[in-house]
Structure formats: structure tokens, C-alpha cells
Structure 1
Amino acid sequence: MRRLIPTGDMRRPVEFTEDAQPAPAPDEVLIKVEAFSPNRGETFLLEAPAAGLAPGKDVAGLVVQAAADGSGPPAGTRVVGHPPGGGWAEYAAVPTHSVAVLPDGIDAVRAAALPLAGITALRLLRAAGAVTGRRLLLTGASGGVGHYLTELAAAAGAEVTAVTATAERGARLRELGAAAVVHDVAYADGPFDVVLESVGGGVLADALARLVPGGTLVWFGQAGRVPATVNFFDLLAGPENAVIRHFHYAGAPYGADLATLVRLVAGGRLHPEIGRTDDWSRTADVLVDLRERRVRGNAVLTTGASR
């Protein structure tokens, strides 16, 4: 089968190779991949790839081999999955605890955009606690996580202010329920009960300063790749007793969260923002665009596989 592997050259970060079809563990299904969605964080792993790195955590396709232990869906079932890796290939082995069955109304392209970004958004909102009636500031809102978070939080009754680098990248956020979209934290009309921060650098300190006393900042990324610096004395003049909470989405099983996301999409309550869809022969170009923030929402690559 064909698989994409890292080159170590960020001008063309991946290339095709021939590889053996994966041999699933007893608790894994074998999926014929129809579509996969790379995430911007994965592009950073390609800079100096570890030996044997097989990227790919968001896949959708058809189960062609059921799990030997009897768990999970049978062969012939359309699913979305979140494997530890290996998804940028014609076939992927995925633990049955990290797949969800797809209804006929959800195609592989939309499904592939759900796992990492959607699971992160769900778990972030749980970390933030009850948001109904609360003012929420979301930085770095133009990616896949930001679009899901905006729609989910607004639907839960939060008043969401989204921060995006440009107007074009934030164009859909108002439609998804954002009360305001600004292009610099300095223009965010606070104070806010909760800040969800993913940029780092000076943005974290600026966002923290806009919390109410006793408010919470959940730090879930550093997309700007610049460490954050916080001045203790600035907090004394602003959000006293603020809570800064580190967040990382990872932790299997993922199946229940995937099933929730699928149910919300099927019910018209969640709308994946897919800024780029292309054949997987153009994966290298898409990865460069994703890394350079030229993609709004998620990017999805299709393999040409069909039912």
C-alpha cells in the first residue's frame, strides 16, 4: 500500500512510499482510509521527524477487517477514527475504543475533520466548566478547534469573543455564534469569566489581564511558538486570584467523544469548517499552507477510495 512519510525538508515535508498493510492488534479494526485531516501541530513534528514517524491521527473510511476480539464495528461499516498515528496511508489500524460509526448523511470529508479538533473543543469546554451566561474569550480562533469551540460554546449559552489574525480567517465565526470577532486581544471588550488561550507569547499575558477577579484561563496551545511571560505585579493590578490551567486534550478512549461529535453534526448542531479539500497527492502543499496559516478551519485530503 502507499503511505506518506516525512522527508525532513519543510519545503516538501512528506513523500509517498510503499509499505506493508498494517496488521491490526486484536482490539483494532483495519480501515480503508477515504479521507484524513492533518493538524497544524503535526506539521511541527515534521521539522525533525523521529525515526519511523508515521503521521496521521484523524481518519475516516470503511472497516475492511473487524477486530479479532469481537469489539468494535463489523467489516463494511463506515467509521471515523482517531489512531495514535499512521493515518496518512491507504489503510490504518485503529483501536476500537477510538472509532465511531458514521450515518449515511455524513461523508468521509466532514468526518475526517472531526477527531483531534473536535475532541479538543469538547474537552476544553468541560475543563472550562459551565459556560451558560458567562463571557468567554477565545484566542487563535480561526483554526479547526476555534470554529468548533465557538459553535459549541455559543450553543451552550456563552457570550463568545473570538480573536483571529485577519478578518478573512474569522469570517465564519459570527455565523457560528460568536458575539464579537476582533483581530487583536487589545480590542477585546472585557472583562471575561473564562479565557481559552492557544497562541502564547504576549497574547497570553494580554488575555489574562482581561479576566474578572477569580476568573480562569485555560492554556491549551502555543501556536505562535513563543514562550509566554507573565508579570506577577500586573496580576495584582488586574485579575486577582486568577487561575491558569494547563490543558492537553490527549487521553484515550476517544470513541464516546467521537460519537458525540457525529451526533451533533448529524443533527445540524455542529458544522465542520473545512477550508481546504484536496487529493492526497497534494498533501505536501497542503501541509505547507496549513503551517503558514493559509487554511481556515480544517484541511482534508482524500485518497480516492470508495465504498
Structure 2
Amino acid sequence: MKAYIPTGHPGRTVGLGEAPQPEPRADELLVKVDAYSVNRGETFLLEDPPPGWRPGKDVAGLVVQAAADGSGPAVGQRVVAHPPASGWAEYVAVPASAAARLPEQVTTVQAAALPLAGLTALRLLRAAGAVAGRRILLTGASGGVGHYVTELAAAAGAELTAVSRSAERGARLAGFGATVVPEVTDAAGPFDLVLESTGGRALPLALKRLVPRGEVIWFGQASREPVTLDFFDLLRGPVSATVRHFSYADCDRPPAADLRTLVRLVATGRLHPEIGLVADWRRTPDVLTDLRERRVRGNAVLTLS
């Protein structure tokens, strides 16, 4: 089968080549991929790819071989899936516990934009607890996770301030009910909760805007700059503030359960994937360049059909 394989070259990090068709385990489906989306984290991994690894965590397509143990969707059903890797290919093996059936209202292009960003947003808000009526500051709101967090939190009754340098992107977030500011320093506060995904200087600046006993949940470092916290700044800041790390993978629920929730929200018009680019999968290397240079707003989805 055809699949994208890391090249190890910085200028063109993947190339379309040949790979063996997957042989699913008893608890895995074989999915014929119709569409996949690209995550910024995958573009970072492609800079120094692990041996034997192929990219692809967000896919949608058709089940052509059901799990031998009888779990998961059946042959002929369209699914959205979150494999560990290797989804930028004609076929991918996916654990049945990481796939959810698609209703006819949801396209494979929409579905491909859901898994990593949608799962992160859903689980992040679950970790934060009840958000209705709480004042929340969200940094790094221009990304896919920020989009989903904004829509879900605002719909749940949060008083959300989103940090986005892009005026175009900010208008989209404001449409969900968020107050949008270009920098953390422009956020008035104080806030009960900060959801921080930028790293660098953003985290200590956000920490200063907490109420006493407020909380920062740190779930990313999009700036790729390390965070430095000054202990004396902490003493002069909010009383008994908490900084907590979050990983979307640290969850007892299988991805399928949360994927079904995301699909249901899309099907009922309560969640709207933002698709910034749809292109033929042969354009993947060029799309990766566009993503790294931030020329794509929202998800980039590549289609095989």
C-alpha cells in the first residue's frame, strides 16, 4: 500500500512510498482511510522521527475488516479513529477501543479533524470540573484544541477569555461567546482557572491573574520555549495557587467513548470542527510546510478519495 514515510530531511519531512498493509490484531479493525488531519505535534516529531515510526493519529474512513474478537464497529461502517500512529496511509490498523461509528450527518472530512484536538479539549474540561459561571483564561486559543475548548466551555456557561493574536481567528472565538484578547497581558482577570498551552513567558503572566487558591492547568507548550517560574514572584502572586500538568492520554476512558461524544455533538450542531484547508493527500508535504509557517487557520485535512 501507499503511505507517507519520514525522510529525515528538514526541507521535506515525508515522502509517499510503499509500506506493508497492516495485519490487525484480534482487537483491531482494518480501516480504509478516506481522510486524515495533521497535528502540529506530528510536525515536531517529523523533525527527528523515531525509528520505524510513521505519522497519523487522526483518521476517518471505512471498516474493511472487523476486529476478530467481535468488538467495535462492523465491516462497511464509516468510522472516526485515533490510532497510535501510521494513519497517513491507504490502510491503518486501529484498536476497536479507539474507533467510533459515524452517523450520516457527519462527513469523514469533519470527523478527521476531531480526534486529538477534540479528545484533548473534552478531557481537559472534564479535568477542570464544572465550568459554569467560572472565569476562565485560555491561552493559545488559535489552535484546534483552543477552538474546541472555547466552544464547549462557553456553551457550558463559562465566562471565557481567549488569547489569540489572529484577528480572524479571534472573531470566530468571539462568535462562541468568548472575550478575545491578543496577549495574556491584555486579559483583565482575575480568573478562577487558567488553561495554559503556550509555555514560555505566558504561564507566569497567566499565573499572576489568578484569584486566591485559583488553578493553572498546563497542557501544552506551543511556543516551544521553556517556562521559568520565580519563587519570589509566586510569593507576591495569588495565595495558594495551584499549577497542574494535564495530558490527554492520562485517562481511564477508552478513546471510543469520548469519540462517540464528539461525533454526537457534531451531528447535533453543538460542535463545529474548523477546517482551514482540505487538499488531496499527495499535497501532504506542502501542507506540512504551510502548517509550520502558520498559513493554515484551523485543521488541515487531507483526503484520499
> TM-score band, normalised by the shorter chain?
over 0.9
Counterpart of 2:45 in structure 1 is: 45
CA contact under 8 A between 1:36 and 1:88: conserved in structure 2?
Answer: yes
CA contact under 8 A between 1:212 and 1:239: conserved in structure 2?
Answer: yes
Q: Where do 1:120-131 residues align within 5 Å?
A: 120-131=120-131
Partners of 1:10 and 1:81 lie apart in 2 by 29
CA contact under 8 A between 1:147 and 1:176: conserved in structure 2?
Answer: no
Counterpart of 1:256 in structure 2 is: 257
Q: Where do 1:53-92 residues align within 5 Å?
A: 53-92=53-92
| TM-superposed deviation, 1:140 | 0.4
Letter paired with 2:19 = D
Quick check: 1:298 aligned with 2:291?
Answer: no
Partners of 2:243 and 2:39 lie apart in 1 by 25
Using the TM superposition, name which of 273-282 and 150-159 deviates more: 273-282
Counterpart of 1:278 in structure 2 is: 279
> How many positions carry a matched residue from both structures?
303
Partners of 2:95 and 2:11 lie apart in 1 by 33
Quick check: 1:152 aligned with 2:152?
Answer: yes
Q: What percent identity do the matched residue pairs reach?
A: 68
Partners of 1:63 and 1:74 lie apart in 2 by 7
Partners of 1:248 and 1:289 lie apart in 2 by 27
| TM-superposed deviation, 1:70 | 0.9
Partners of 1:168 and 1:267 lie apart in 2 by 26
Q: Where do 1:54-203 residues align within 5 Å?
A: 54-178=54-178, 180-203=179-202
| TM-superposed deviation, 1:53 | 1.1
Letter paired with 1:301 = L
Deviations 1:165-211 (A, max 9, x none): 22123231111221x11111000111111000011010111111111
| TM-superposed deviation, 1:246 | 0.3
TM superposition score normalised by structure 1: 0.97
Q: Structure 2: state its 5+ residue gaps.
A: none
| TM-superposed deviation, 1:294 | 2.1
Partners of 1:177 and 1:287 lie apart in 2 by 31
Deviations 1:219-269 (A, max 9, x none): 000010010011121122221111000011015620000000000001100
Partners of 1:165 and 1:294 lie apart in 2 by 14
CA contact under 8 A between 1:31 and 1:65: conserved in structure 2?
Answer: yes
Deviations 1:57-104 (A, max 9, x none): 000000001111111111000000000001000001000001000000
Letter paired with 2:192 = D
Across the aligned residues of Structure 1 and Structure 2, the Cα RMSD in angstroms comes to 1.0
Using the TM superposition, name which of 101-110 and 233-242 deviates more: 233-242
Counterpart of 1:227 in structure 2 is: 226
CA contact under 8 A between 1:10 and 1:288: conserved in structure 2?
Answer: no
Divergent runs of 4+, >3 A: none
SS at match of 2:136: strand
Using the TM superposition, name which of 246-255 and 198-207 deviates more: 246-255
Deviations 1:79-134 (A, max 9, x none): 00000001000001000001000000100000000000000000100111111000
Q: Structure 1: state its 5+ residue gaps.
A: none
Counterpart of 1:241 in structure 2 is: 240
Letter paired with 2:16 = F
Quick check: 1:205 aligned with 2:204?
Answer: yes
